[in-house]
Structure 1
Amino acid sequence: MSLSPIPLPHGIQSRMVPHVNGLTMHVLEAGHETPGRPLLLLLHGFPELAYSWRHVMRPLAASGFHVVAPDLRGYGRTTGADTRYDGDLAQFRQMNLTRDVVGLVHALGHKRVHAVVGHDFGSPVAAHATLVRPDIFPAVALMSAPFSGPPALRDGTPPPAQDIVAELAAIGRKHYHWYYSTPEADTDMTGAPQGLPAFIRGYYHHKSADWAENRPVPLTAWSAAELAKLPTYYVMNLHEDMAQTVAPHTPPQYSPWLTEEDVGFYAGEYARTGFQGGLNWYRIRTSRRFDADMEAFTGRTIDVPSLFIAGASDWGIHQSPGALARMNGTACTDMRGVHLVDGAGHWVQQEQPEATTRLLLDFINTLPG
């Protein structure tokens, strides 16, 4: 199948990198023309792609860096992952995602990065990579998803997650993580009645600062009553799927930060691949089958220079109650700043790329070479 051209700004190239932990990884890169530049690695979230970094890559490269953004395992043009619902779920466990980014650094010809930056689901990948291999990842910027530390050792008692599912159902709600873990979620979205482009546009709008109801506040507990304060794109109405959830919030016009061309590219990629590769990441989290991998690091902290950036209108920073405070207080011992960007919701590097770039460079330029 021939792939459509990616509508990239001048100075960003697309290429395939083979032999990355069983993957042939698609990457976008800028600053590649000059050999020997220090590497900045940018990791996207859901339902995004390397393309989500298009606005910040050239300004970062202009400051002297080799900037690389991959389509992560199960996403976009990266090949080699088993993205079936009934496929090998173990390949999406956190330690293997860490191995992916270690492999990518080496495949690119680098021994280490100058910094790794992760947004949304890319944030825990960046955090765990830094936790496990600080020699390769000596600085980290986390975006929109706070890191509260590796999981605690379990003593064999059942995890509390299943209780919250029942508690939410009793009040007519359901958590999107568990919805995304169902076999129906992929077809609900790829086959959205409003069409895939409209679904993408509605989903992005609903979680952005453009939706005026995004006025986040901290939650006090992991309880149904507190979680029910989250918008329905996080804690959904019990009998609605995600396409139904976002449909009433699809804006009549495109946004300057998410143009018709942008939506067309995202929709074209997800029409080709489906969402299941990215949804499998959620299944790892809700099943907890592979928590033991990271429980080996319980009590360990991120001790390298760290930064956190999110939109001021992003509920995502509060969806795990207390995570922001734990990240800033204990999980990251050298946190250089926590920045909430005005005029941005969940998609901070797309909604406010200039402010995001400035914050990243202010942080990165203080790091030792």
Structure 2
Amino acid sequence: MLADLSLPPGIRSRQIPGINGLDMHVLEAGHDDPGRPLLLLLHGFPELAYSWRKIMPALAQAGYHVVAPDQRGYGRTTGWDSDYDGDLAAFSMPSLVRDALALVYALGHRSAAAVIGHDFGSPVAAWCALVRPDVFRAVAMMSAPFAGPPALPFAPADARIHEELAALDPPRKHYQWYYATREADADMWRCPQGLHDFLRAYYHVKSADWPGNRPYPLEAWTAAELAKLPTYYVMDARQDMAAAVAPEMPSREQIAASRWLPDEELRVYSSEYGRTGFQGGLQWYRCAISDRFNAELSLYAGRTIDVPSCFIAGAADWGIRQRPGALEAMQRKACTRMLGCHLVEGAGHWVQQEQPEETARLLLEFVGKAANAG
């Protein structure tokens, strides 16, 4: 049974067939006035189009056609294969960019004023702007810096980091490689505390509400440095993700006081993931750590994002520091026309949900500057 999305006024939900083999579910605002420029919003993991609900009305009120899809592998979008042993190429970055491109065209547009991505949606948005700058005229990356395409000569990932993490006391493992395992989906979907409580703890521990989120730059991609990350990024090797976040489950009083994610809104996520599981989103991580798919992306080695760009994240978001040097590389070389890098106070990883007014303000300021920049 589909959950009631309880959307803010002015946002509609609909299905759009024929999107690169998908029947794509989208949320849409500003759709009643033809001719508006398009803003395409791409969510991350474990999120949904619903994650943009708090800023879509403000963006539409400013004169934009605002569209947020459930991306491939998520929510009410269908046509993707959840089989762990299925065709992984369908979840590769070129396929995700084709999804976005096909959606733009299906909506009746031939370009987007900006593509805006959060979390894993951030690199998808970045690749959209890098590969098709004629269509994606500006890009806002949120919570996950984009350091550029893989370099040439391409070298397979160094497995020593995993051996070094495993040799720590206590032994650790990187969450992205854990997410690539066959067990990860069931670990979270069928976890002992129940899916709703797992998601509550997961969203809480990555938010500004959790006092442990005080990020600072790491020096290098070494086990000793990565071990400084919270255990939701570099996990205890003996635990799965549900066990990793369980000790940080907020109290009933904290949950009742949560204004950015009240329990009835969290219920949308737990209902949707209760239907689908997590494997669709986990396939993205499997592609991201794959030497095969990264070797293909090295075709773009040396290419930069040359459309106007910006970066927005929560000041309490460890995601901006999980790849040492990525934030600086994005500003220094990956993006040639960066118009701003903003760290929002009072927000952790879920910046557009934790601080929606400030996020919407920064995005509107950016797209206005980008339009004037030409």
TM more than 0.5: yes
1:158-210 Cα offsets, whole Å, 9 max, x none, are 421x2111110111000000100001110000111111111000000000000
Counterpart position of 1:198: 197
* Matched positions, count: 366
Check if 1:344 corresponds to 2:342: no
CA drift at 1:296: 1.0
CA drift at 1:294: 1.5
CA drift at 1:288: 2.2
Check if 1:164 corresponds to 2:161: yes
CA drift at 1:4: 2.5
After the TM superposition, which segments of 4 or more aligned residues of structure 1 sit over 3 Å from their partners?
none
Counterpart position of 1:139: 138
Check if 1:49 corresponds to 2:48: yes
Q: Conserved in 2, the CA contact under 8 Å of 1:41 and 1:68? A: yes
Helix, strand or coil: the match of 1:55?
coil
Counterpart position of 2:149: 150
1:314-337 Cα offsets, whole Å, 9 max, x none, are 000010110000000000010000
Counterpart CA distance in 1 for 2:246 and 2:141 is 30
Matches within 5 A, 1:90-105: 90-105=89-104
1:83-127 Cα offsets, whole Å, 9 max, x none, are 211111011111111111000000111000011100000000000
Helix, strand or coil: the match of 1:366?
helix
CA drift at 1:367: 2.8
Q: Conserved in 1, the CA contact under 8 Å of 2:38 and 2:112? A: yes
Counterpart CA distance in 2 for 1:270 and 1:109 is 30
Amino acid paired to 1:159: A
Helix, strand or coil: the match of 1:296?
helix
Helix, strand or coil: the match of 1:24?
strand
Matches within 5 A, 1:58-69: 58-69=57-68
Counterpart position of 2:320: 317
Counterpart position of 1:3: 2
Counterpart CA distance in 2 for 1:119 and 1:235 is 21
Counterpart CA distance in 1 for 2:288 and 2:369 is 34
CA drift at 1:292: 2.7
Amino acid paired to 2:303: R
Counterpart CA distance in 1 for 2:179 and 2:64 is 36
Q: Conserved in 2, the CA contact under 8 Å of 1:7 and 1:261? A: no
Q: List alignment gaps of at least 5 residues for structure 2.
A: none
Counterpart CA distance in 2 for 1:3 and 1:316 is 31
Amino acid paired to 1:272: R
Counterpart CA distance in 1 for 2:84 and 2:4 is 28
CA drift at 1:42: 0.3
Q: Conserved in 2, the CA contact under 8 Å of 1:39 and 1:66? A: yes
Q: Conserved in 1, the CA contact under 8 Å of 2:2 and 2:271? A: no
TM-score under structure 1 length normalisation: 0.98
Counterpart CA distance in 2 for 1:200 and 1:54 is 18
Matches within 5 A, 1:10-49: 10-49=9-48
Matches within 5 A, 1:274-289: 274-289=277-292
Matches within 5 A, 1:233-312: 233-252=232-251, 253-254=254-255, 255-312=258-315
Matches within 5 A, 1:74-85: 74-85=73-84
Mean alpha-carbon deviation: is it higher for 116-125 or for 77-86?
77-86
1:123-181 Cα offsets, whole Å, 9 max, x none, are 000000100000000100000000000001235x5421x21111101110000001000
Matches within 5 A, 1:212-231: 212-231=211-230
Counterpart CA distance in 1 for 2:184 and 2:371 is 45
Counterpart CA distance in 2 for 1:348 and 1:368 is 24
Q: CA RMSD in A?
A: 1.0
Q: List alignment gaps of at least 5 residues for structure 1.
A: none
Amino acid paired to 2:206: K
CA drift at 1:290: 1.1
1:337-364 Cα offsets, whole Å, 9 max, x none, are 0000000000000000001001001111
Q: Conserved in 2, the CA contact under 8 Å of 1:95 and 1:293? A: no
Helix, strand or coil: the match of 1:5?
coil
1:38-93 Cα offsets, whole Å, 9 max, x none, are 10000000000000000000000000000000000000000011121111101111
Counterpart CA distance in 2 for 1:349 and 1:321 is 24
Amino acid paired to 1:77: R
